[in-house]
């Protein structure tokens, strides 16, 4: 019953919180500003071919389109392009079309950027996904193989449902050839492909009710199709589940590349491939950490940078902090997405806003490496 109450609380989110940019801290040379402040429960972000910023949400089933017509770095129009959908958190743009996740269904809005004022009705691409609401909302993205990747979270805090849940799948853009990519993933709400290697990396949320400091959320790399990352038997790569781990060995599963911290709620993540930020950010992973809900002392509520050398983690450092003070949060980062100029957007579903991070310090606007 407790988990059901939590789930209902998450679905019935409160009104947007006030925005306090003055409380945020970024490295020297970085700046953050409001890109749009009329996007209730803003979640995943996708960028259209013409620069439209699409934002999924869980606000009355709405999907938003933000446009910056004069190029000043602030959206001057916010449109609702779909409504009445079931938790349309995930958005992905491809060949003029916007794909939207709606728990059990993947929908598409055709030729959307040419019809923002009179958007088409969503068309069904696939209804092959579970209807379970627990971890049912989905971050989606197209991979370098042209396939749409769709996670299926565990329908529980911790349970064993075989290979029907707790995995990442992929399918063709028309919904055909649905196949499994990786297993043992409790709930991934963010993933991207590493430049150069093309390998899939993803964040995953650890289980609850094992205490304040156990287990950690994780950052993971898929090196082959069909890998198993351990859920529900092994958590954070080294800790057996007190119930489901009996008779299991963590060494039998793929270990995470990095422990992100307990209950930080790691969600949207992207590799930084732009040239506005310093060279040290090239190829780094930016991760939105939505923040804990059941920890004695809150964790997360920040955007982090993970620097890599190949598949080895070099550092794990803050990019934006200050969405929480004195154990009270006014903002909860949900996704990160790069704009063509190399600046980065951050969605905040608590404040109902999208922010834009820019850099004008040494090395800004560097040419391609």
Give the model's pLDDT for residue 215: 95
pLDDT of residue 296: 78
Domains of the chain: 13-359 (2.120.10.30)
- Give the phi and the psi of residue 8 in degrees, each rounded to 5: -65, -35
Using an 8 Å Cβ cutoff, are 151 and 169 in contact?
Answer: yes
CA atoms within 13 A on the CB side of 353: 21
> What are φ and ψ of residue 23, in 5° steps?
-90, -5
- Give me the pLDDT at residue 311, please: 95
pLDDT tens for the 369 residues of the chain, in order: 333 333 333 333 445 679 999 999 999 999 999 999 999 999 999 999 999 999 999 867 999 999 999 999 999 999 999 999 999 999 999 999 999 999 999 999 999 999 999 999 999 999 999 999 898 899 999 999 999 999 999 999 999 999 999 999 999 999 999 999 999 999 999 999 999 999 999 999 988 777 667 899 999 999 999 999 999 999 999 999 999 999 999 999 999 999 999 989 999 999 999 999 999 999 999 999 998 877 778 878 999 999 999 999 999 999 999 999 999 999 999 999 999 999 999 999 999 999 999 999 888 876 654
Cα–Cα distances in angstroms (integers) from residue 68 to residues 30, 77, 116, 211, 320, in the given order: 21, 7, 13, 45, 23
For residue 112, give the DSSP letter: G
Residues 250 and 242: their CA atoms lie apart, in Å, by 13
Residue 214 has a pLDDT of 82
Q: What is the pLDDT of residue 367?
A: 63
Residue 4 has a pLDDT of 36
Cα distance from N-terminal residue to C-terminal residue, the chain? 54
* Residue 318, strand partner residues: 304
| Helix/strand/coil for 86 | coil
Residue reference for tokens 């949207």:
268
Element (H, E) at 3: helix 2-11
How many C-beta atoms lie closer than 10 Å to residue 134's C-beta?
19
pLDDT for position 361: 87
pLDDT at 178: 98
Residues 195, 54, 44, 89, CA torsion sign: negative
Instruction: Tell me whether residue 120 is exposed, middle or buried, using C-beta atoms within 10 angstroms of its C-beta: 0 to 12, 13 to 18, 19 or more.
Output: middle
> Which pLDDT belongs to residue 127?
98
Residue 212: predicted pLDDT? 65
């Amino acid at each position: 019953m407790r988990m059901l109450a939590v789930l209902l609380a998450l679905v019935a989110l409160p009104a947007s919180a006030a925005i306090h940019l003055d409380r945020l801290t970024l490295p020297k040379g970085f700046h953050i500003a409001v890109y749009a402040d009329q996007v209730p429960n803003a979640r995943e972000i996708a960028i259209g071919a013409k620069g439209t910023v699409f934002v999924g949400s869980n606000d009355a089933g709405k999907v938003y389109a933000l446009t910056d017509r004069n190029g000043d770095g602030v959206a001057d129009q916010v449109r609702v392009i779909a409504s009445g959908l079931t938790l349309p958190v995930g958005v992905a743009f491809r060949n003029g079309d916007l794909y939207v996740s709606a728990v059990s269904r993947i929908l598409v809005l055709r030729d959307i950027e040419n019809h923002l004022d009179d958007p088409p009705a969503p068309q069904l691409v696939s209804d092959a996904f579970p209807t379970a609401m627990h971890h049912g909302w989905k971050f989606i993205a197209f991979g370098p193989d042209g396939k749409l990747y769709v996670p299926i979270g565990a329908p529980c805090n911790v349970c064993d449902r075989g290979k029907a849940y707790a995995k990442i799948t992929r399918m063709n853009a028309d919904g055909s050839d649905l196949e499994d990519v990786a297993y043992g993933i409790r709930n991934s709400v963010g993933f991207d492909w590493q430049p150069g290697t093309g390998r899939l990396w993803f964040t995953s949320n650890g289980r609850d009710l094992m205490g304040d400091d156990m287990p950690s959320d994780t950052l993971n790399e898929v090196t082959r199709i069909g890998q198993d990352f351990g859920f529900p038997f092994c958590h954070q790569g080294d800790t057996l589940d007190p119930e489901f781990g009996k008779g299991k060995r963590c060494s039998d599963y793929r270990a995470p590349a990095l422990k992100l911290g307990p209950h930080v709620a790691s969600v949207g993540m992207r590799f930084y491939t732009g040239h506005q930020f310093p060279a040290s950010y090239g190829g780094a992973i930016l991760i939105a950490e939505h923040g804990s809900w059941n920890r004695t002392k809150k964790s997360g509520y920040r955007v982090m940078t993970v620097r890599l050398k190949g598949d080895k983690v070099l550092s794990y450092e803050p990019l934006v902090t200050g969405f929480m003070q004195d154990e009270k949060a006014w903002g909860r980062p949900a996704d990160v997405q790069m704009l063509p100029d190399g600046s980065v957007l951050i969605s905040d579903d608590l404040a109902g806003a999208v922010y834009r991070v820019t850099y004008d310090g040494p090395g800004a606007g560097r040419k391609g490496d």
